[in-house]
Amino acid sequence: MIFETFKIAIQSLFANKLRTLLSMLGIIIGVAAVIAVVSIASGSQAQITSQISDLGSNLINISPGISSGAGGQISRTSADIFTLDLGKHIEENSPNVKRVVPTSSANGLLIKSNNNYRATIVGTEADYQVINKYYPAKGIFFSHYDVDNSTEVIVLGTDLVEELFPDSEPLGQSVKFNINSSTQVFRVIGVMEDKARGLIGDLNSQAYIPITTFMNKVSNSNYVSNFVAQAVSSENATMALYEIEYLLDRYISEEDEYNIFSQDQLLDTINSVTNTLKLMLIGIAGISLLVGGIGIMNIMLVSVTERTREIGIRKALGAKKSNILFQFIMEALALSSVGGIIGIFLGGLASYSISQIGGWPFVMSTLTVLIAFTFSLFVGMFFGIYPAYRASKLNPVDALSYE
Amino acid sequence: MINIKDIAKTYQNGEIEVQALKGVSFEIEEGEMVSIMGPSGSGKSTLMNILGCLDTATSGYYSLNDQDISQASEKELAYIRNKEVGFVFQQFNLLGRKTVLSNVEVPLIYSGAKKKKRIKRAEDLLVKVGLGHRMKHYPNEISGGQKQRVAIARALANNPSLVLADEPTGNLDTNTGEEIMDLFQQLNDQGHTIILVTHEHNIAAYAERTIELIDGRIQRDVVA
Ligand SMILES: Nc1ncnc2c1ncn2[C@@H]1O[C@H](COP(=O)(O)OP(=O)(O)OP(=O)(O)O)[C@@H](O)[C@H]1O
Ligand SMILES: [Mg+2]
């Protein structure tokens, strides 16, 4: 009996192919949109996450806080404490910290004969390259010797080389750096590798000099702008963070006068942002699925009206209310399940193509597919039931005399 | 077999009230063949629809095979339409997208018969009404007389005791009409109770009893 009614439903769908296709279109587009949106969002999120992990999930950033109410001025208490010795102190006294690299930066004009370029110059330690997994493509990075002896060497980002040395070899040449109307001369010893413009800014237009040289010649100060600490492993990053906080709290009397965060925390923040974005997109896709459902309801209502005579005949021949109801629900279910399957395929295809273009991994979870499919069935059922209910309620005479 | 008392039917269309039946009473015994006559609008179809459980009376009592129809539930009515009554319409009312054979199968599907048994029964009936050679055809591929034979075969599917026919020859020429009437005659001889509506006296003459309706009331009820 159930099988017979199911067959009747399928046959009537086949009897009117165009109508069937049109009503299926809404579900197809809705499901495809949900699948594609989730897949694209997950893929690009995975890409962003891996970019950040590339930076090293075991890194901890420490910078002086801004004193509240002092017009944005850097708080004296904490900035005054950020000496090279503090970095050494953390490195030596915190068991979960492998190394601490200080950095300071300043903006100024890099000059080579007639070419000049506004650049950020960064003073740091030799281990900077190890921590950031960022190495010179040509020449060398400066060494501990350079830092200890405060030598006047510089490593340039690729963009700077293009600007300053359009058609000559930069290695071994000298460049001038102009800041606060004083000029320093450096010898180029290396050119960094090309780094895609990422979340941490444009590395290609930075230049690097030993931190000691920076403090003596550029900033004329005993303090650095921040430290990057590397934990022994990413699992120990949180422990390392607590240790550093403990040490700093003993140096800095007032609380909250420094900022400390790990890459993990950054990752969490970014993930929560992309998750919110993903949810919003899924919401939009869900609405399109709903609109598809309304399309099904429309078509079902039309088909009930069109087929009122048939319903009358069937009822006159002994069809129960439940037989008619079931026939129409089956039609709606068949429509939405076939539409759902086509939608899954199209959605998968679309997100695969887009992931190829965007260059992120193609992610399609079974859960998403399952949810989208179940949802399309529910939509089909929900919007199929009302017209079916109306059809099943008709009095046989009224249905038969329907023109 | 049929017992109706004071059956009335009032149609209400907004402000306008139409009294199609104004108190009709009669009894019909098992195995009778009865014709119902009367001018257009006298309430013949209305009465037939009530007898066939396609519609319900506004008031009055109706019992079929000792079951009180006025009290029957929706589900019981569907069962009666399926098993106890066969209805033949003036406009044939075949399902156009189905073959002749599938049309005859429909009542058998709703009575829950198995596919093999269904096909066998439908084939037998079609042979019986003289359409053994047209089973795979669609309704638009056969003549009016043939359509009405299919409709009769379909009405007989679950071997109902009562066969109702509302102007079964109304859309057919005289010769074809007489052929259809011969078929009804045969069914009556085999024991089916038959009630049919007609305008034509020579058709009514097939039945031994004629009930005449005028303006929603019985004018005459005569046995020839
Ligand atoms: N659905 C309806 N709504 C309102 N009035 C109706 C309806 N059906 C029938 N009537 C009215 O009821 C009366 C009886 O109609 P019915 O169809 O029973 O007549 P009939 O005897 O079968 O006529 P005919 O010989 O033309 O078929 C008529 O006046 C008709 O207009
Ligand atoms: Mg009539």
Q: How many residues does chain A have?
A: 403
Q: What pLDDT score does A200 carry?
A: 56
Q: Is the CB of B13 under 6 A from ligand 1?
A: yes
- Domains of chain A, by residue range, sit at 2-51+269-400, 66-256
- Nearest ligand by distance to the CA of A398: 1
Q: What is the ipTM of this complex?
A: 0.94
Q: What pLDDT score does A248 carry?
A: 84
pLDDT by 10s per residue, chain A, length 403: 677 777 777 887 787 788 788 778 878 888 888 888 888 888 887 887 777 766 666 888 888 876 544 444 444 555 677 888 888 989 899 999 999 999 999 999 999 888 889 999 999 999 999 888 889 999 999 999 999 999 999 999 998 998 899 888 999 999 999 887 788 999 999 999 987 655 556 788 899 999 999 999 888 888 888 899 998 887 788 888 889 888 888 777 665 577 888 877 777 777 788 888 878 887 887 787 778 778 777 877 777 777 888 899 999 999 999 998 888 888 888 888 888 899 999 999 998 998 888 778 888 888 888 988 888 888 778 877 887 788 788 889 988 887 6
Cβ proximity of A35 and A351 under 8 Å: yes
B49 touches chain A (CB under 8 A): yes
Q: What pLDDT score does A304 carry?
A: 76
Query: What are the residues whose beta carbons fall under 8 Å from the beta carbon of B86, sequence distance 6 or more?
Result: B152, B154, B155, B156, B157, B158, B160, B162, B163, B164
Give the Cα separation of A31 and A14 in Å (integer): 22
Q: Which residues of B43-54 are buried (b: 16+ CB within 10 A; e: fewer)?
A: bbbbbbbbbbbb
Q: What pLDDT score does A70 carry?
A: 46
**Domains of chain B listed by start with CATH number:** 2-223 (3.40.50.300)
Q: Which of A243, A108, A229, A125 is nearest to A175 (CA)?
A: A108
Q: Which of A49, A133, A82, A121 is nearest to A260 (CA)?
A: A82
Q: What pLDDT score does A253 carry?
A: 62
Query: Residue B159: pLDDT band by 50, 70, 90 thresholds?
Result: very high
Give the Cα separation of B211 and B205 in Å (integer): 12
Q: What pLDDT score does B52 carry?
A: 95
Atom of ligand 1 nearest to the CA of B38: 21
Chain B environment of A11 (Cβ under 8 Å): 97
Residue A68 burial by Cβ neighbours in a 10 Å radius (0-12, 13-18, 19+): exposed
pLDDT at B77 over 50: yes
CB pair distance less than 8 Å for A318 and B107:
yes
Average pLDDT over residues B62-88: 93
Residue A145 burial by Cβ neighbours in a 10 Å radius (0-12, 13-18, 19+): exposed
Q: What pLDDT score does A287 carry?
A: 83
Q: What pLDDT score does A187 carry?
A: 94
Nearest CA to ligand 1 atom 14: B43
Segment B13-70, tens digit of pLDDT: 888 999 999 999 999 999 999 999 999 999 999 999 999 999 999 999 999 999 999 8
Q: Is the CB of B46 under 6 A from ligand 1?
A: yes
Q: What predicted TM-score, i.e. pTM, was given to this entire model?
A: 0.68
